[in-house]
Structure 1
Amino acid sequence: MDDLINWVETERMLRDVWHWLPDAVSKIPTETWAELNVTVADPDAPYRPVTRFESLLEETTMLRYLRPEVALMDPCFDILCQQVDDGVDVTLIDRPKCHAYFLSMYPERSSELLQRDNFTVLEHDQLPPYGTGLLDERVIISCYEQDSGVVQAVVDTDVSVVREWAHSIYESYRSDARPIESKQLAE
């Protein structure tokens, strides 16, 4: 009965964000849905998904993120910097405009990060509408409002079928990603 209740509660949360999730999520066996942690923004707690991501970021020793987006990373920038300073291995793949934002808003700190061996930033022009993060043992799927880029939800899990899917998606985009152009770094 507990499993059924957990499954129904997760389904209710997923129902609100389903349209932002990748199609592959619909192929996840329903019996694993109770193992998905769904964190949704609402008017009383608009930063709840960012706070969840922040807590996961603080605990990881490795981060690979496809389309992390400004709305997710900017509030966590200090924690990301601290994690890199502490030796966490980070690779971010995002749109050139997102990298340009961080280079313009945090020029000194961004420049320092880019000099680190454990921090890699790549760009790609054709990313999916959602984010996919690989941490030590967890996968994060971040859902964004397409017009504004606002983080609407974060789904995280340690389910192996989701991890396999996320790893495959990440690697397919990583193979076509490129380093930031040197002219961006000089600006």
Structure 2
Amino acid sequence: MGIGNTRHCPTDSPTGDIAYLTRSEHRIPTLVALTKRPRSRSELCELTGVSSSTIRRTVDEFENRVWIRKDGYQYVATRLGESIASGMEELIDRIETERKLRDVWHWLPDEMDRFSIETWADLTVTVAEPDFPYQPVNRFESLLEGTTTVRFLRPEVALMDPCFDVLTRLIGDGVDVTLIDRPNCHTYFRSTYPKRSSEMLQRDNFTVLEHEELPPYGIGLLDDRVVISCFERDSGTIRALLDTDVPAVRDWAQSVYERYEPDARPLEPQRAVE
């Protein structure tokens, strides 16, 4: 394996090695880069943006730990180094997933606990930031474009500008749309958009259903994506939008939608006119 004469560097503990790798931002990228192909010290300097002396110390430490070996004027990762680099990349990916979910976790459906961490990593999470409060709305607008079916439980995000404009156009193009929401929510949006609401309700491909007891989150089923809209419990403000194409999440979302649909009733004609 070419490492028989390598100096071994004892460490206090596994967490000591982890701490070493994470104390400087260039170390993990350096090790990962050496798993791809051999590289010289000058290449590593250019890649990481650190000085030659810093890279020299880094590769010396890596060699001491048997994570890399020298091959002429270049360095290449050993199998041990490849294992460490892969593990660190996986750890970083997992923490990145946790970071994007931690601020919205208390708004998510309790059923999210049942999904694997790998499933969480495939979620696209769009959060309403103080400087960009409409990011979830804009994300949903982009998802609406091009879909040929829309089924939505608690569709408040779909009824906000500019999503409502896209939804209106889709209905005019013949896209099948079914919305299940609370009566007071339908009343609000009909009063806000009376003309367009009246025109939409006359379309055969647009169905409005009412249900008194809906979950505290929204479920949207589009062609290729499942959408979960998260609301602030007191104000009803949309705080985050999650979307994914993971089959397990779609199966769950479909089951939630089908749980409420049989008990939902059509909008009363008289109230529709009003």
1:143: which partner in 2?
230
Q: Distance in 1 between matches of 2:90 and 2:151?
A: 31
Superposition deviation, residue 38 in structure 1: 0.5
User: Greater Rg, structure 1 or structure 2?
Assistant: 2
Gaps of 5+ in 1: none
Question: What's the counterpart of residue 97 of structure 2?
Answer: 10
Q: What letter corresponds to residue 53 of structure 1 in structure 2?
A: F
Residue 99 of structure 1 and its aligned partner are, at CA, apart by 0.7
User: Does 2:252 align with 1:178?
Assistant: no
Please give the alpha-carbon distance, in whole angstroms, between the structure 2 residues aligned to 1:184 and 1:104. Answer: 11
TM-score (norm 2): 0.65
1:19–1:115 Cα change, 3 Å: same
**Percent pairwise identity:** 64
SS at match of 1:65: strand
Match of 1:115 among 196, 202, 209: 202
Counterpart of 2:223 in structure 1: which amino acid? Answer: D
Task: Please list, as runs of the form range in 1=range in 2, the aligned pairs for 1:80-159 lying within 5 A after superposition.
Answer: 80-159=167-246
Paired residue type of 2:110: D
Aligned partners of 1:10 and 1:37 also within 8 Å = no
Q: CA deviation at 1:182?
A: 1.9
Structure 2 gap ranges (5+)? 1-85
How far did residue 20 of structure 1 move? 0.8
State how far apart, in whole Å, the 2-side matches of 1:67 and 1:118 are.
Answer: 19
Equivalent residue number for residue 130 of structure 2? 43
* Deviations 1:67-86, CA, capped at 9 Å, x for gaps: 012x5522121111011111
2:141 corresponds to 1:30:
no
1:183 shift after superposition: 2.2
Distance 1:60 1:81 in 2: 13
Over aligned residue pairs, what C-alpha RMSD do you find?
A: 1.3
**Counterpart of 1:156 in 2: which secondary structure?**
strand
List structure 1 runs of 4+ shifted beyond 6 angstroms: none
Report the Cα offset of residue 5 of structure 1.
Answer: 3.3
One of 45, 54, 74 as aligned partner of 2:160: 74
How many Å apart are 1:106 and its aligned residue? 1.4
Question: In 2 relative to 1, CA 72–6 (structure 1 residues): closer, same or farther, beyond 3 Å?
Answer: farther
Higher relative contact order (CA 8 A, sep 6+): 1
Structure 2 CA distance for aligned equivalents of residues 18 and 33 of structure 1: 11
Instruction: Check the 8 A contact 2:104/2:240 in 1, yes or no.
Output: yes
Q: Which whole-Å deviations, capped at 9, do the CAs of 1:108-150 have from their partners, x for residues lacking one?
A: 2111111111111101000000000000011000001122111
AA partner of residue 103 (structure 1): R
Aligned residues: 186
Does residue 162 in structure 1 map to residue 249 in structure 2? Answer: yes
Q: Which moved more, 1:151-160 or 1:175-184?
A: 175-184
Amino acid at match of 2:159: M
CA distance in 2, matches of 1:54, 1:25: 24
In structure 1, the residue corresponding to 2:112 is in which secondary structure?
Answer: helix
TM-score by length of 1: 0.94
Query: Residue type matched to 1:26 in 2?
Result: D
